[in-house]
Structure 1
Amino acid sequence: MSLPTITRLPSARLLSSLLLHHQHHLLLPSIAPLTVPTRLIHAEYRRPGKPKENLWQKINIDFSKGMKGIKKNFTLLKNEFFDRWVGPEGKPILEHMLEQNRVVWEFRGPESLEHWTLSSDREVGGQSEVYLKLGKNSNTCFLYGTLNCTPPRDGETRYSGYCTMRSKQPLASFDRKKHHDWSSFNTLHLRVRGDGRPWMINLATETYFSHQKDDIYSYFLYTRGGPYWQDVKIPFSKFFLAYRGRIHDTQHPLWVDKVNTIGFTLGDKANGPFQLEIDFIGVCKDYAHTEECAYEMYKRNPEV
């Protein structure tokens, strides 16, 4: 009689365990895993070849660097305050009125290259290259590279091939905007030595509205090549107003009292190496030139 009892107990326990296991498998599929609905965030369109912006950048907190920045800004503020008592831009009023030539940019050391930035079509997927270094005697600026007009294969860009060197925006104390005041002059003076390629000189001025941030005044710089330097003088009245390469129908004189930057652009659609050496960039006063604007300026209400 003991044998049946021994065989019934394991069978009952086995049956109960099978029922529990079966119920467990039946309940599990009915409970769906917790899912969070995802939302696609459409970011700003990024051109092919342009590097992604890293929004999560590591912030290095340096107390000594911050103290140097504060000391630098207060020194600039002190100089601005006392320069106003001397005269315009820290010069006596008589010297400012009789000034006929002024060197704005010159290259006399590695620190002078820090005031310039380089760009090319490589930022949008192109193949052009541009570099900047000092000359052999460390007294000139040597801009060189390779121009390639092959457009990137992104299905959108049709034209390519440009290289640019542009000066940085001058800043006053506490990173306030500062402008070049050339109201006492009427001519741009450069001493360059190129390889025969034509360049475009671009002057960017301060604007009143945000949609005018791409407005720029341009004129041509023709280099003759060879080992000899050439002095180039371009009156401010010759610069024409353009917007992203398109010339405006309405022209007006250059605002010489609020010049922000100057740039040199190469885009002559000729593949190959290029070079441009610059000694200095300045402004001068030409008393024989009295023209205000070389282009026709339309009036909305012309005088009868």
Structure 2
Amino acid sequence: MYRIISSKLIVPSKCIQGLNFPVVVPSVSFYEIRKSGYEDRTQKKVSTRQSIRDGLKELKKEIKNWTEEVKEGCTFDPIMGMPLPGEVDKQWCFNENAKFDDWVVTSDSDHDEGYSTSSLSISPTGKGLFSGNLSTQLVRDGKVKRAGYCNMRSIRPQKSFKRDSFHDWSGYTHLVLRLRGDGRSYMITLGAAGYFDVNWNDQFHFALYTRGGPHWQISKIPFSKFYMTSKGRIQDAQEPIPLNRITGFGITACDKNNGPFRLEIDYIGLEMDPSHKEISAYEQYKVPYFYAGY
């Protein structure tokens, strides 16, 4: 862990190769490091000149995005923006014009932790196709204890100038998916970043059951049924999803059944049901007010 003492940052000696004593650096050089995730091995070093060129192009693009945000804010009608009961607002549609760059597809083999493979592509019917092969075979490195997962996840929304943003789903009560599965069970994941670092790994899950066969199905899942986990562990103190701070949506194949899987997706949408009054399907605990939270 880092410690800030007298406006200076103390860096552990093990962080600096060849040094056996703490190194003091100015606190202005501190930057936030996420404790979860993997390093980007595909990132390449570029020259200073090329970095300046890329930066100027990016600045022009971000100014254009900022202009669009200002125009949208001035013309937004809060009445027309309210969801209509029983109407599905499609958040993501999968067709030939879909932007697959907005999705990240990973599996355990991408991090040398297994042999599963997965991909997101266009199906023969022109819809999104999340498919691959699931394998629970372990890598013989003496470290990996469990294997067998494939995941597709949306990237976090951003405002202009690379500012992190959120999906605001506070006006909706249900998640709606139109899909065609293979009979497997999948896991739906909703990310919701909190204000404090202890909330960075909070996620909300619910099972997605599919039918095999040629027919499409519509899965309508109340947000109140999602349960909270942190670093993969189900928490005793459950709480409702902060729907105004959704950072991402994901689907994971991890049912421990070796073999190919196939999930065809038409759209992922949201619906508001006025008759649904449940906030959370799980027991709520009262904690002291000095606890960090929302």
TM-score (norm. length: structure 1): 0.76
Residue from 50, 54, 64 that aligns with 1:75: 64
Tell me which residue corresponds to 2:199.
Answer: 212
The one-character-per-residue Cα deviations of 1:142-163 (angstroms, maximum 9, x if unpaired) are 0110000011111122111111
Tell me which residue corresponds to 2:99.
Answer: 112
Which shows bigger deviation, 55-64 or 128-137?
Answer: 55-64
Return the offset for 1:52: 8.8
Contact 2:188–2:252 (8 Å) recurs in 1: yes
Residue from 177, 180, 194 that aligns with 2:167: 180
Tell me which residue corresponds to 2:9.
Answer: none
* Residue identity (%): 36
What SS class does the counterpart of residue 158 from structure 2 fall into? coil
More strand by share: 2
Q: Give the direction of change, closer, same or farther, for the CA distance of 1:155–1:247 in structure 2 (3 Å limit).
A: same
Tell me which residue corresponds to 2:32.
Answer: none
Return the offset for 1:67: 4.4
Contact 1:142–1:277 (8 Å) recurs in 2: yes
Tell me which residue corresponds to 2:247.
Answer: 260
Q: Give the direction of change, closer, same or farther, for the CA distance of 1:79–1:150 in structure 2 (3 Å limit).
A: same
Tell me which residue corresponds to 1:99.
Answer: 84
Return the offset for 1:252: 0.7
The one-character-per-residue Cα deviations of 1:220-277 (angstroms, maximum 9, x if unpaired) are 0000111110001101100000122210000111011110100001111110000101
Return the offset for 1:108: 2.8
Return the offset for 1:213: 1.6
5 Å-filtered alignment, 1:117-196, equals 117-122=104-109, 123-138=111-126, 140-196=127-183
Q: Residues of 2 paired with 1:134 and 1:283: CA distance?
A: 23
Q: Residues of 2 paired with 1:252 and 1:52: CA distance?
A: 33
In structure 2, what residue type is equivalent to 1:131?
S
Structure 2 stretches of 5 or more lacking a match? 1-16, 21-37, 289-294
5 Å-filtered alignment, 1:251-290, equals 251-290=238-277
Please say which structure displays the higher CA radius of gyration. Answer: 1
Q: Residues of 2 paired with 1:222 and 1:108: CA distance?
A: 23
What SS class does the counterpart of residue 184 from structure 1 fall into? coil
Return the offset for 1:105: 0.6
The one-character-per-residue Cα deviations of 1:167-224 (angstroms, maximum 9, x if unpaired) are 0011110111111111111110110111000000000012122232221000000001
Residue from 215, 219, 229 that aligns with 1:228: 215
Contact 2:165–2:247 (8 Å) recurs in 1: yes
